[in-house]
Structure formats: C-alpha cells, structure tokens
Amino acid sequence: MAGGVTGGSDGTWSDRFEQGLHPFIERFNASIGFDLALLQEDLDGSIAHARMLAGCGVITTDEADQIVGGLETIRAEAASGVFQPGLADEDVHFAVERRLIALLGPIGKKLHTGRSRNDQVGTDLRLWLRRRLDELDPGLGRLQTALWRQADRHRSTLIPGYTHLQRAQPLCLAHHLLAYIEMLQRDRDRLGDVRKRVNICPLGAAALAGTSVPIDRRQTANELGFAAPYANSLDAVSDRDFCVEFTAAASLVMAHLSRLAEEVIVWASEEFGFVGLSDRCATGSSLMPQKKNPDVPELVRGKCGRVFGHLQSLLTMIKGLPLAYNKDFQEDKEALFDAVRTTRDCVEAMAILFEEGLTFRPERLEQAVEQDFSNATDVADYLVAKGVPFREAYQLVGSVVRHCLERSCLLRDLSLEEWKRLHPAFEGDLHDALAARAVVAARRSEGGTAFERVDEQLIAWSDRLDLGIE
C-alpha cells in the first residue's frame, strides 16, 4: 500500500486516513510504472532543492550534504539495478523519498520541506522535456544534412514537378529536396520556441499557494538552468501548455516526415521507379520473392497518428480543469513520453533512409521529365516574351496541347512550320526553349528552381548547417 513516507500506518496515507487503498485502486492510482522515466530529473531537482534549503537556513549545510549524498547513492543504485521501486511506492517522487529515508533516517524526511509533489512533478517533467528537445534538434539537423547531401549530388538531376499529383513543371531534384530542408528548419525553430516556454521553473510553488517556508525560488531555478521561476504559484502547478505545445510542434514534424515518406513510397514504386531502395532499409514479402517493400517510410507515415492522437488527448485532458492541480495531470506523461519517442525515432529512421537507404535514378527521372506536357507554360512564356498577352498565349497553348493529344505526340514533336502556322511569333529558338533543362534553367526568380538559384541555396544551407563545404 502507498503511504509509508507520509507517516500513516497499516498502509494508510497519513493519520487522516483510517484505511488503506483498495488493491485495485492502488494499482489504478499508481504512476510508478511510467513516471520512473523521470528519476534522473527528480534526483536533480531534489539536489537543487536541498542545497537551496541549506542556503536559506532551513536545514544545515551538513544535513544538505547528507541528503545530496543519499540522492547520489540512489542514482548509483538505479544505474546498477539495485533501486527498483514497486507498486507500493506509487510514484517516482515517493520512491526516491522512501529510499532516502531508509538511507538517512530522520534527516531524509527534511527534503520535502517547502515543496509539494505538485510543483515537484512539474519541475521534473520540464527538465525531462528540455533534455529531449536538446537531443531532438541535432536529430533534425542530421536529417537536413542527409537531404542536403542528396541534393548536392543531384544539382543537375531533373524530376517532374506535380500539382494535384498531375505533371506540372519540371524541377531540379535538388530544389525539391531543399523544400524539405526548409520545412525541417521551421520545425527546429518551433521546437526552439517551445523550449523557451518549457524553461520556466515551478519548484517552490508548493501545492498551489506557495509556502511559508523561507525559500529562494530563484536559487533552485538558476541551479537547474531555468530562465526564471513561474510568477504565479497557481499557474506553476497547473500549467501543461508546454506538453500540448511540444506535441503540436511534434505533430508538424511528423506531418512533414509523412509527406516526405509518401513521396519516397511513390518514387520507389515500379510505376515511378525514381529511386531504388537498399537492403539496409527495406524488407521483402513472405510470399512474393520479387518484392522490396518501403517499410521505413510506411512506418513513419503510419506513426503520425500516434503523435496526432497524443495532441488530442492532451488538449482534452486540460480543457475542463479548474485551478489548480488535478489528478488528471497524471495522464500527461505517457502521452508526452510516447510523442517524444515516436518523433525522435521517426526523425532518425528518415535520416538513415536518406543517408544509406535509397538511391535516385537520374536516367529514369530524365526520361520521365521528357515524356509529358510540363513545358506547356514555357510555350506561353515564350509568346509573352514576344509581346503576346499572357491570356491569349495561354489559350493558344491549351489548343496546341489538345491537338498533340489527338495526334499522340508531344510539343517537342511539332515542326517549326506547324508552330508558325499557329502563331507567327514562333521562331527557330523555340525547340531549344522547350527542352527540359532550358525550362528549369529559365526559372530564375528568387526561390525558383533554376540551377543557379539552387546552387545559391545549397551554399546558403551548407553554411547554416555548418557543413564546412565551400
């Protein structure tokens, strides 16, 4: 039964209670099965709290040293597998406190002075998420680098560009990949903003109203690396905005990864054949020996739902809660832990996929670009350059495309004589202008797919990603 730390007997919470918890309710109530993940953060927060108590004269320096030593002993015991809390500990905070009391006796009972599990868990959770944010950012940078290296290898490779999944205009493949680097940078920026709001310390807010114990909240906040303490004790213990905000930002990361994953899945199909998958990142069929399945991008695409679902779960959890702390907050951890783990793993999987899991097929891509009408806009642009109003040119080219479809030919197959019969502005340079490489090279507007613009962006991103490439 939960209880021993608070002084109750026979498994009761305290002398306020006459009976212990029903065995099922004890299991239902406990969070030790998942919040033990916060152990290192709980120890860090407790060490800072003990030092602050000594600094404020609430406990002696010797008592603080003994408490810190006991907490470090628990850290070592956890690393060696000796410290293994069970259901009777209820949560990670009680588990640590009970073990500390077992190690130090009455001195261990002084640690909880001036704090509550309400501000304690909020502190632990923020410390935990802050560390994971600091790990996730380099992972996103690694994926950006993998995309950049693919783009660098394919500065001159073409790929069909699509809108509505219909052939639209030819692109430089590097330009296509750079678009995802841009998306991932927005993700990194958003997560950096989330970190700023994670980095506020609730410790010392106690249960909800602060404490009469003469503590120094700024000392613990500084020691733990927080930017500042919460200004309002009620807000400190009841704020889970940062959990929602992280999961919302992670949902966008997952949405971007899923879009990229979907492209790889399509590109790897025999109908497209734009990429080949390596054996390191693909599996086969248990029945059909010829198949190589794009498992990595399919799993990434599928795992989006987990993170999206956690966002909805967290929003639903907080939407009707009165101030201040409520037991509902126990539901934040599994959702947050899984959202972090899923996002981190998917980022790493996609990085590996682009580092060593796929190879683009330039010849197939080139062939694909040459077999459509994606240069139709360039015919209109050609006429515009000759002084023809765009809408008139647009209508004329539309009729030419229809004519070609009826004849089962492409725009490039029409002779100059045929073009001139359509409009006298067409000259001998038309066919050169319709070549796929010329079409791509002509898109020189800022942010466009022209090779020179792509080279500029590759250089810029090399600097931003600190790749050290001239």
Tell me, yes or no, if 164 is annotated catalytic: yes
Contacts of 242 by beta carbon, 8 Å cutoff, 6+ apart: 126, 129, 194, 197, 198
Distance of alpha carbon 335 from alpha carbon 265, whole angstroms: 28
Joined tokens for residue 360: 């683009």
Contacts of 276 by beta carbon, 8 Å cutoff, 6+ apart: 268, 358, 359, 361
The DSSP code for 280 is G
* Letter string b/e over residues 102-131, b meaning 16 or more CB atoms within 10 A of that residue's CB: ebbeebbebbbebbbbbbbbbbbbbbbbbe
How many degrees, rounded to 5, is the angle at CA 396 between CA 391 and CA 399? 130
Joined tokens for residue 268: 């790897």
Joined tokens for residue 213: 């114990």
φ, ψ (nearest 5 deg) of residue 239: -80, 120
Contacts of 234 by beta carbon, 8 Å cutoff, 6+ apart: 205, 208, 209, 323, 324
Contacts of 195 by beta carbon, 8 Å cutoff, 6+ apart: 130, 133, 134
- Candidates 9, 14, 269, 285; catalytic one: 285
Measure CA 390 to chain center.
43
Q: How far is CA 157 from CA 160, 181, 277, in A?
A: 10, 18, 18
- Candidates 80, 164, 286, 408; catalytic one: 164
Q: Do the Cβ atoms of 368 and 173 come closer than 8 Å?
A: no
Distance of alpha carbon 466 from alpha carbon 454, whole angstroms: 18
Distance of alpha carbon 301 from alpha carbon 256, whole angstroms: 10
Q: What is the DSSP string of 366-428?
A: HHHHTSSSTTHHHHHHHHHHTT--HHHHHHHHHHHHHHHHHHT--GGGS-HHHHHHH-TT--T
Closest by CA position to 194, among listed 241, 234, 237, 239? 241
Q: What angle in degrees, to the nearest 10, is found between the helix axes of 173-198 and 241-268? A: 160
Closest by CA position to 39, among listed 88, 1, 74? 74
Tell me, yes or no, if 431 is annotated catalytic: no
Total number of residues shown for the chain: 470
Joined tokens for residue 314: 């967290």
Q: Which residues are catalytic?
A: 164, 285
